[in-house]
Structure 1
Amino acid sequence: MPLFTITMRSGRTVAEKEAISSALHEASVSAGYPEDDHFQRFISLGEVDLHISPLYPDLQKPRSEHVLMIEAMISSGTEEERKRLLLSAIVTRLQAAGTDPNDVMVFFGEFDRASSSFGGGRPALPVEVRPKT
C-alpha cells in the first residue's frame, strides 16, 4: 500500500495532475500492489513555499519548475528490491506522461501497519503484494 503524497509548485492543470495520478497508480500496480489500492494526495505550493536545490546531489542539468517531490509511504519491512522496482516504474511512467526524470524526486517512508487504519475503526490488514516480475 503505497500512500503517495505529491508536492509540486502551484499552477498545474487538472489534466496534468490526472496524468501524474494515473502514472503513479500504474507504477504501483506494475510493482505488484493491488489495482484497488489507490491512495494519493496532491499538495500544490507557491514558489516561495517550495525550495528545492536545482542540482543536488549531482544532476547534470537543473530541475525545472515542474519538479515533483513524491513521498511514498509503504509497509515496514518492504524489500529493497520492491522499492527499486517501484522507483523505476514511477520514473518510467511519469516520463511517459511528460515528466522529465530529472524532475522526479522519490522518498520512501515506512510505517507499521498496526499503526494505521483504512477506515471503519479497524487496524490495517496486510496487503497481498504480487510476486516480483
Structure 2
Amino acid sequence: MPFARIDMKKGKDAAYRQQIGLAIYEAMLDVGVPKNDRFQVINEHDDANFMFDPTYLGIARDDDLVIIQITWNEGRTLDQKKALYRGIVDRLAKAPGIRGENVFISLVEVKKENWSFGNGIAQYAV
C-alpha cells in the first residue's frame, strides 16, 4: 500500500497536478503495486515555504522541482526501487513535461501492520 505525498511550488493548474499523480501511480503499478491502490496528496507551497538547494550533488534544479515521498511496505528489492525512480522520471518527462533534474523522490518503508485503510482495522496485520 503506497501513500504518496507530492509537493511543489504554487502556480500550476489542476491538469498539471493530475498528470503528476497519474505518472506516479502508473510507475508504482509497474513495480507491483496493486491496481486501484492509489492514495495521494498534492501540496502546493509559496516561495517562503518551499526550500531546496538548486545544485546539491551537481544536479541543476529550478522552481519546477517536485518532491515526492512515497510510504510503502518494506521488502522491495533495490532493482524494484530503481525501476520506480526511472519510471516516475520518464513518465513525468512525457506529461506534464518535468525535467528529470526536478524530480526528487524519497521512499519510506514500513511494516505491513502500520496501515489501517478504514474502520479502525489493521487490514494487513497477520
Scaled by the length of structure 1, the TM-score of the pair is 0.87
Task: Output the amino acid matched with 1:54.
Answer: P
What residue number does 2:102 align with? 103
- Kept in 2, the 8 Å contact 1:31–1:89? The answer is no
Q: Distance in 2 between matches of 1:34 and 1:95?
A: 24
RMSD: 1.3
Could you list the runs of 5+ residues in structure 1 that have no partner in the other structure? 127-133
What residue number does 2:91 align with? 93
What residue number does 1:123 align with? 122
Within 5 A, what are the aligned runs for 1:48-127? Answer: 48-59=48-59, 62-97=60-95, 98-125=97-124
Aligned residue pairs total 124
User: SS at 2:40's partner residue?
Assistant: strand
Q: Distance in 1 between matches of 2:30 and 2:114?
A: 26
- Kept in 1, the 8 Å contact 2:115–2:124? The answer is no
More helix by share: 2
Could you list the runs of 5+ residues in structure 2 that have no partner in the other structure? none
State the 1:94 CA deviation: 0.8
CA displacement 1:7-48 (0-9 Å, x = unmatched): 111111001001101111111111221121101101111011
Task: Output the amino acid matched with 1:27.
Answer: A
Scaled by the length of structure 2, the TM-score of the pair is 0.92
What residue number does 2:38 align with? 38
Identity %: 27
**Which structure 1 residue ranges, 4+ long, deviate > 3 Å from structure 2?**
none
